[in-house]
A = this chain, B = another copy of it.
Amino acid sequence: MRPNNSTKLAFSPLPNRSRARAMQPSSDNANKPQRDFEHVRDSMHSAISMNKTEVIDTVLNDFSEKFLVLGEEAQSAGHEEDGVLGSFYRIERNLRHALKPMYEGLFERLNMHPGGLKVLTSLRADILSILAEENIASLRALDSYLKEKLGTWLSPAALELHQITWDDPASLLEKIVAYEAVHPISNLLDLKRRLGVGRRCFGYLHAAIPGEPLIFIEVALLKNVAQTIQEVLWDDPPIPECEATCALFYSISSTQRGLAGINLGKFLIKRVITLVKRDMPHISTFATISPIPGFIQWLLSKLASQSKLAEVNDISQSSADRSGSAFRENILEPEEEKALMDLSEEFVAGKNGMERMLNLLTSKNHEWSNFAPLLSILKTPLLRLCARYLLQEKKRGKALDSVANFHLQNGAMIERINWMADRSENGLHQSAGIMVNYVYRLENIEEYAQSYFSTGQIHASDDVCRYVEPLNEHQPATDKRG
């Protein structure tokens, strides 16, 4: 709680560091209040000027704490106000109001109105689906404005963590069934299991959108970090909760298309970990079994372009200077190439290993996944390429894969890559059935989040790193590009 004495701080909207410095007296000891004030002012300036890739939580915490305990000693910074300044502020304000789009009025009034935020969310969902078909400038401007507003109105700090149980209203549980995007819930029994013994489900709720979590996370209490989603979804019966040592996050779904691009999941993992840890101190491992939604899409485009380049090279150049093309790269190892080319044409056609791999992966109904010899040929290159995708493929300096980016920015590390971990249609389609375990080590969460934020560094276990650096001595995969 803040002390009762009111803090005297004349905030000036114009930075006036030089003047404030000039005021600083020479005697250092006698001026602790002045130093405190300067400290608060500096952390305030940091909080304003830091860019979005930096971790401002610590700075904001520091500012908040120090501001609240600033005593009466802090001196007013003095001010040179007069009528001119007064009208300056008035003009600035009027200009700001004149620039408000007409729809701002509607948005603000709906925000104040019961049910209004839900309407705005639906509205944005509609806008997004129109924009997906056609790029309309006015609509894009509207969308960007609405997104900004929704982002401040649905601040993660205003979301409430709620444990969802079988005792919750059916109208809420129905939403869980409808929105579970990762591992669809097949029936009521399936839902009941996910809320029963050995399972937890937590949702982020906002008071203005009642009865409907904006995002929810499903947790399994296990003895070990699961290697496949099948054992999580179908291990009947679950183990007694007192024997569990691991809390496995196996599904995170956001429910509102209209909130796309707004980071609601911030703090979610951290808060769930705190909650689980408090109730069950014997849980020591916090991990996920996560999809890799962008892996196959990335791989197919890589295979297509590289097998095309390889073909062109074969025709136009002597074999002696094949390496001439700077973009060319055989993403397969020689023995993988050989194994694929040794396959009979009746299984798969293709002039090189990459083309054959492409053809196998795009075969109807993922036939390759039902035939043991093909599985064993594809396993090594797919796991290796998946590790490369997760560890090295970046977009603006951050992990290309959206789920990887989510967990890494929350402070997780990549622990293990699992073969045939999700045999569902969707799992085979998006990541050739591969899934990944991210692990949250309580002692490292802050540090990892911070280094990922500032330099894009991805922390991974030795086993995972070995996939991409098989010949060198092991070193943690670090990427400071971007």
Contact = CB atoms under 8 A, between A and B. Distances in A.
Contact of A64 (B60, B95, B116): B116
Contacts of A267: 114
B102 A157 contact: no
Interface stretch (A17-25, A131-139, A344-352, A430-438): A131-139
Interface string A93-115: 10110011111011011111111
Given A81-B137, A122-B2, A112 B157 contact: yes
B89 A48 contact: no
Copies of this protein in the complex: 2
A349 B298 CA distance: 95
A275 to B, nearest CB: 14
Contact of A137 (B56, B86, B117): B86
Contact of A115 (B56, B64, B76, B139): B64
A313 interface: no
Contacts of A86: 137, 140
Looking at chain A's contact residues, the main secondary structure is helix
A68 B110 CA distance: 13
A113 B208 contact: no
A452 to B, nearest CB: 19
A110 B64 contact: yes
B109 A60 contact: yes
Contacts of A331: none
Contact of A89 (B49, B93, B141): B141
Nearest to A136: B81
Interface of A: 2, 6-15, 44, 47-49, 56-57, 60-61, 63-64, 67-68, 76, 79, 81-83, 85-86, 88-89, 92-93, 95-96, 99-103, 105-106, 108-117, 119, 122-123, 125-127, 129-130, 136-142, 144, 152-153, 155-160, 206-208, 266-267
